[in-house]
Amino acid sequence: MHDKPIDARAEEILKKVIVNYIVTGEPVGSRTVAKLSREGLSPASIRNVMADLEEMGFLAQPHTSAGRIPTDKGYRYYVDGLLKPPRLAPRDRALIDESLSRAASEFGEAMEIIPKLLSRLTRQVGYVITPPIRDAVLKHIEFVRLHERRVLCVFVDRSGVVSHRIIEVEAEYRQADLDRAGRYLVAEFAGLVLGDIRARLVALMAEEKAAFDALLRNAINLGVLYLNAEEDGRRLVIEGTSNIMKHPEFADMDTMRRLFETFEEKHHLVKLLDRCLEASGVRVVIGSESDDPALKSLALVASPYQIDQRSAGIVGLLGPTRMEYERAVALVGYISRLLSSLLTNTPH
């Protein structure tokens, strides 16, 4: 897949340009690269190589007489091949451990803290996607009669996460019946994952209805109604959006506005994010690689996290393509591993 028609020297120069550009934000000229390079190559030679790199699409010039800046393809090459194995700075690690240990005990709190933490550490946008509801483990379920045929269903997950939904039932229920149905479901299915419970209920339903008593019928009915409603229950928690404005490459108001409109459309962002992320491990999506035009000059670093070995959600950050990839990858990787282990050891 990767065309790699780059010899060692070109690679070295590409890397120099990218690293320098990431730090300074200024287009990098041949002189600068020459000074940085210990093997004494002259600016002129470097110019030749840079011209090649430009022709191959790894570098670009803002205008004729400026230095070079990396293209998305250039960043991609850098991220894939030239990154050192991610190594977290001790103080970053300490800060993360400290912040998370305090909040770890409660799932909801962790989901609040993590994007804040990522945003603070990198001065970029941090986010988490919560796990889908079908992976939640049943601890408790409860039906409350609201009004005629409207029933509120409250579901409690093993780790204390509460979710709820109003369902419309086909006949009126007395509260006492609802209570019994709830108790039945808990007794029968506590400890199972919602997705499995739904499958079992559907299977039960397919059996001869007459075989069940009223209690059972109610419970199955209500359970299926609740579980059928198609919402995956994932939320995108996003923090530090104002950080984006600190970067000079976004001086243009109009791009900025469209970007913030994208942030407001959380639903859409969730889709985008998990389309970018079937694989496991930290992934980097650079600029135009995602096909949302609003994200054209942004890069996102994302990693899934697991609960009990099962992929649960995504954590990551979002910033301009000109970003410190090494640090970002290290941070996101560490946090996703830490989160996985915290959630897997959660008390139940």
Partner DNA sequence: TATTGGCACTCGACCTTGATGAGTGCTAAA
Partner DNA sequence: TTTAGCACTCATCAAGGTCGAGTGCCAATA
Binding site for a second copy (CB under 8 A): 106, 139-140, 142, 144, 146-148, 150, 152, 154, 156, 159-160, 162, 164, 166, 239-242, 245-246, 251, 253, 256-257, 260-261, 263-264, 347-348
Residue 164's binding partner out of a second copy, DNA, none, with CB under 5 to 8 Å set by partner kind: a second copy
Token digits of residue 10 = 């070109």
Is 43 one of the binding residues for DNA (CB under 7 A)? yes
Give me the least distance between CB of 47 and DNA, in Å please. Answer: 4
Give the DSSP H or E segment for 266. helix 266-275
What SS3 state is found at 147? strand
Give the residue ranges of DSSP H helices in 2-41: 8-24, 30-36
The answer to whether residues 332 and 122 touch, using CB atoms and an 8 Å cutoff, is no
Tell me if 24 contacts DNA by CB under 7 A.
Answer: no
Least CB distance to DNA at residue 100 (A):
42
Residues 28 and 69 sit within 8 Å (Cβ to Cβ): yes
**Interface with DNA (CB under 7 A), residue from 5, 8, 38, 63:** 63
248 touches DNA (CB under 7 A): no
Using CA atoms, how far residue 334 sits from 200, 205, 337, in Å, is 37, 45, 5
d(CA 222, CA 42): 77
Cα gap 282→263, rounded to integer Å? 22
User: Binding of DNA at residue 70 (CB under 7 A)?
Assistant: no
Under the binding rule (CB under 7 A), the answer on residue 18 touching DNA is: no
Tell me how far, at minimum, the Cβ of 234 lies from a second copy, in Å. Answer: 17
- Quote the least distance from Cβ 143 to a second copy, whole Å: 10
DSSP string of 96-110? HHHHHHHHTT-HHHH
Nearest by Cα to 277 from 112, 127, 99, 93: 127
Q: How far is the CB of 4 from DNA (least distance, A)?
A: 19
CA 111 to chain centre: 12
Decide if residue 99 touches DNA (CB under 7 A). Answer: no
The number of beta carbons lying within 10 Å of the beta carbon of residue 275 is 12
Q: Count of residues for the chain?
A: 348
Residue 304 binds: one of a second copy, DNA, none (C-beta under 5 to 8 A by kind): none
Rounded to 5 degrees, φ, ψ at 173 are -115, 150
Minimum distance, C-beta of residue 232 to a second copy, in the bound complex (Å): 18
**CA 328, 332, 335: angle at the middle one, nearest 5?**
140
**Choice between 41 and 144, CB closer to a second copy:** 144
Tokens describing residue 266: 């959380």
Q: Does 154 bind DNA (CB under 7 A)?
A: no
* 51 touches DNA by CB under 7 A: yes
- Is 27 a binder of DNA (CB under 7 A)? yes
Q: How far apart are CA 285 and CA 75, in angstroms?
A: 10
The one of DNA, a second copy, none whose footprint includes residue 32, by CB under 5 to 8 A per kind, is DNA
Q: Which amino acid is at 281?
A: G
Determine, following the binding rule CB under 7 A, whether residue 53 of this chain makes contact with DNA.
no
Instruction: Considering only the stretches 60-68, 174-182, 189-197, 242-250, report the one whose residues sit in contact with DNA under the rule CB under 7 A.
Output: 60-68
Shortest CB 101 distance to a second copy, Å? 17
40 contributes a contact to DNA by CB under 7 A: yes
**By three-state DSSP, how is residue 224 classified?**
helix
> According to CB under 7 A, which one of 7, 23, 25, 48 is a site residue for DNA?
48
Beta bridge partners of 237: 128
State in angstroms the smallest separation of the CB of 299 from DNA. Answer: 23
Residues that bind DNA (CB under 7 A): 26-32, 40-45, 47-48, 50-51, 54, 61-68
